Structure 1
Amino acid sequence: MAARTVSVKDVAQRAGVALGTVSNVLNRPEAVSESTRARVLAAIDELGYVRNESARQLRAGRSTTIGFVALDLSNPFFTDVARGAEAVIREAGSVLLLANSDGGALEARYLDVFEEQRFQGVLLSPSGDVAAQLTRLRQRGIPVVLVDAQAPSAEISSVGADDVAGGRLAASHLLAAGRERLAFVGGPGTLHQIRDRITGAREALAEAGRDPSSLEVLGTDAPTVVAGREVGYRIAAMEPARRPDAIFAANDLLALGLLQAILLEERLRVPDDVAIVGYDDIGWAGSAVVPLTSVRQPAELIGRRGAELLLREAGRDPRYAPEHVLFTPELVARASSAP
């Protein structure tokens, strides 16, 4: 038989005080004398009472929990975004709950849960069209800020980096190193980040007087190390005349998988035969066997700024107005793309 849950009434009886006194100790301790407060806290310890925070927040009509639905928490980029957001949210006295949308498969479900639980606000890195759900959340009084994304309307704040500029940086770097056959590796193509980075790479080709359509796009189902390794084996097996001599990967996980596969082919060398540029500049990039050139996004800063905007809206700051913050990425050149 399950043990009975200890209630506030039990605590009051053990301490010999009124229910309201226990409530004050829990919520307004300054309103209770020190001796009474000590007696109530002792009763809480003896009985093992745990406050029902969800019920308390529902009675108060306000939660202190903020949800973050991340596209892929196996990617260190998103954990860095979460770290930046959590620092700001913790300072404000709230808590951050992380949810992994698994590339978007669980996105709608988590947003429904956050709505049902009346969260204080939601940070979201969307995978697809979530405009209808975002509208419903905001109608319920739950603010939303998009991170690593572009807002579907001017009413919703967003924070991210300029992926078109990032794609242009990567491709321009490879072209400046004298590379002739550029390939882009990444997917799925439904993600705006993928589309924007391809657009930027093609713009760099056009600026260099090259045919933008010459960029070979090698799609993947997911932006993971395993997917990068699979494409890497395919590239290594190509005839030399057809094989790309430069690869721009959609993120560092893909780039590290590519690097592993190509290095396993003893006849190929990085960067001599194939130069590789990744994206995000995660912590592992610089410590790879061949240190990885990468386009750096300010991940923690993206998280911090997103959380600041969300808390301002949740706090009904009269000066708050939706913002669309776009940081400029930078190229960090390392050995994987040296001429």
Structure 2
Amino acid sequence: MELGIIGLGSIGGNLAKQATEKDIDVVGCDTADRPELTEKGVTVLDSGDYEGLSERLDPPRAIYLSLPAGELIDDELESITEHLDEGDVVMDGGNSFWRDSMRREERVWEDGIYYLDTGTSGGPPGARHGACFMVGGKEEGFEIVEPILDELSVEGGLLHVGPPGSGHFVKLVHNGVEFGMLQSIAEGVELLEAGDFDVDLEEVFTNWSNGSVIQSWLVELMRDQIREDNYADVPNYVEDTGEVNWLVQEAFKGETPIPVISQSVIELFKSRGNQEHAYQAIAAMRHGFGTHPFGESEDILEERVTGRVDNVSRDHLAQDRENMDTVRPKDRFGDE
């Protein structure tokens, strides 16, 4: 088996290492020399040498793009397809917008070239030892590269989702779920740190990593990060490439409620200090209607702490539950 990889960074490079160890011949193109890959037997060509790439691969060629989403994909795709033949397969392994993938598939299919939107999950460790692939595109194209992807995927981690665009759509929803899970775990850390008990975070996350309902790779990663000596120095700033924003925007267009995923994106914005004026405006209005102080106030802080009333529940809401006149969906629409 042979595989061409364009972009030999953290994902493409690790896929190349894994592939060579599984007797898959790899020819790659990158802006850097990548001696650590050539030592493993990967043929590394200069960036843009798609003629050389094409000459070193037998048809039907299988080429994996490990590039950032956006116009770069269009530019590279235009260049590489000039050197490909009918029946060759191009896989976009990045986080491209699925509607862009649908457009690109139509374009390259005019030349008889298969285009597969190949959502790839697992990060660099997955690329190195077994990734998770969500593939959209024509079935015939998938069948050509299936043996290669099967070798590079973790057990159960290869799925042909459906038609063009579906692979990147499913991967984008996956990223949204990831954001929601990250936010939930982070809020758990906040509660543990702010609580009344002096708990050992590492021990708690170790405990949660063994048989608990929320046992997961993310919980294990949190445990491992807490163990790092520099954990306390990690900046309170979260960066991302913005693809989950597309998911939220599409949800709004379709009136699909995704409050957790939407709020997780908002929390990223807040971490970057992007609200320069909102809290100032709130403070000004609160001062206007209630002469609330500007800035910190020890008196207000004391009132906030000592004014709490403990052991207050909302049980009274359930006292008359049997007599409540609940409005059900069928009542709203007049259904029987």
Higher relative contact order (CA 8 A, sep 6+): 1
TM-score, structure 1 normalization: 0.31
TM-score, structure 2 normalization: 0.31
